[in-house]
Structure 1
């Protein structure tokens, strides 16, 4: 059966609205107003240029024949892995090796790696006659490679995006939920490891769920032993850290533990959002931004600028636009009938949703600062280009559905 082409103008409209809103907010974040003095940095017009380039890239993507697009996925992934290796040898910026710079243009290969890894994993695990175990190991292998290279940069936040997308793709591939449980169980064991009652309850729940799944006693025993081992070894590892190492980790989870150091950004972001009240301080009038108390206010903490200058109402408008965008995106995924494309679209949805949730969460103090930008809103050419292309891929899948499979 062949489906007719169907371009989703509504999803494209939400995408353009988010990008336009980002350019407007970046203009405010780039402008310092103190008394009669006003100075605007060039971030906003650079973002406007990035926006035009990103939308043109989506237009070109839609014009490329699907056969050529699919042919380019694996070579592009391999080249991206090489770029992630080469970037480790570039001069550090703020202690991290993340960017290639050429003629004033910065390229961050970790941003393209997110999208390309999703496309390659979807291709690999959608092959016919592949066992579930093989699906898991191949998906993990293709994901762990770029994730480890990005972790070395270091960029812990981007690494988390890979595994959240991976879980979404495995679920979309209709992998039994007990496999998903086995994959996330080590994380839960580490979290519960500092309270012995929580450890006991978790292991009992894990064994019960695996028994309900009718797994073999060998599988259940191995999973239980590994999780108990992780739960027991984590406190030993923690106690083996030096005091300053423990303090850094504690500050990551509790900013008030180091208010002038690791926790400074989140504290200032919370002050900015809270001071905006209902209607905000007004366009260009954010004091936390203007007095530069809020670091990185045009990138990772741009949501705080929205909260300070436009208040609860402005923040609600942005959240409402994101809600409409993601609601439309997930509805579109349900219309994609080719298995590989549906799995890839699920990974793209998870990748964008996770970044949105984490960024806004850290701006309001619910989540530790991880350096994850707000899709389409934060300043950054690489982030904007590949986030926009990710949506372009879904639009392409909808526009060229092809044969049911």
Structure 2
């Protein structure tokens, strides 16, 4: 009775209704409607970046393929779209739709999610699945390029840290640009020292309960990218090692309960759409300024970006022999079904300090002290310093 009021009574529609799929929105009952439904879902969840990605891929599909009625879609349709993204199509005498392989892969992956959603709802049969990187008769999704060279070594990161602490910038730069470059370099180094987190996480980082409970020795946050998934096991703990504290003192806000650590990123704006744009712009600014510092201050030809900071964290610790479970957990990677691990303090804070302190090579020079010639007062003062007493 419910189906007869809105849809044709067919075996497929009956099967879909009995499987529990709903008909809340008119346009849901089509392949492109499911695609649009996912976009709206991500928008409601404030997953702005994901929604944009799905919108761009849908626009590409419609530009090359056009509209698709219902679920009349198969591997040949996807192949035609894939070919159009590879080589472009002629529209009004102009070549349109051609994109890079990286973007093509990203768009095909969103389409794959839509296809799987349609299978789950009973709209498409599993045997019609059009994607495979092994079957040449199906559509192969290009893999992202490997990033073996997209990182900076510990020594290189240490040199950048010295540039920051010494404020060693060209005298030809204007005062305003030097200040912006200094702030950008600090944020880049912070991304590296804060377990390779991205700028969206940096913008949301707060002086929360954990920070004060640990005496200002650690940050705790929920990684935005994985907090949107269902397992919820993406809590990241960052030990505030000495060089990170130096950067915080320079470009961070003063600690206050639930205050943002880097308010300059979002500028007090709470709207997620605007935050997304600010993050993209700030990522671009950091990349441009750090590249210029590398070239004009250190004489490098390398062009690091924010993703290099994350890759550098993982690569450098791996090269040092740090266990991969620590690296993965520290970066907020999903723990899958390992529920026990999610609730355990897998690594004590002191262990985190031990590992993260290896991210920079800052061996302190030992002072040349003649203990035998020291007065009792001098020895007393030295002992206080060793014990950390005032």
TM-score computed with the length of structure 1 as normaliser: 0.26
Which has the higher Rg, Structure 1 or Structure 2? 2
Q: Which has the higher helix share?
A: 1
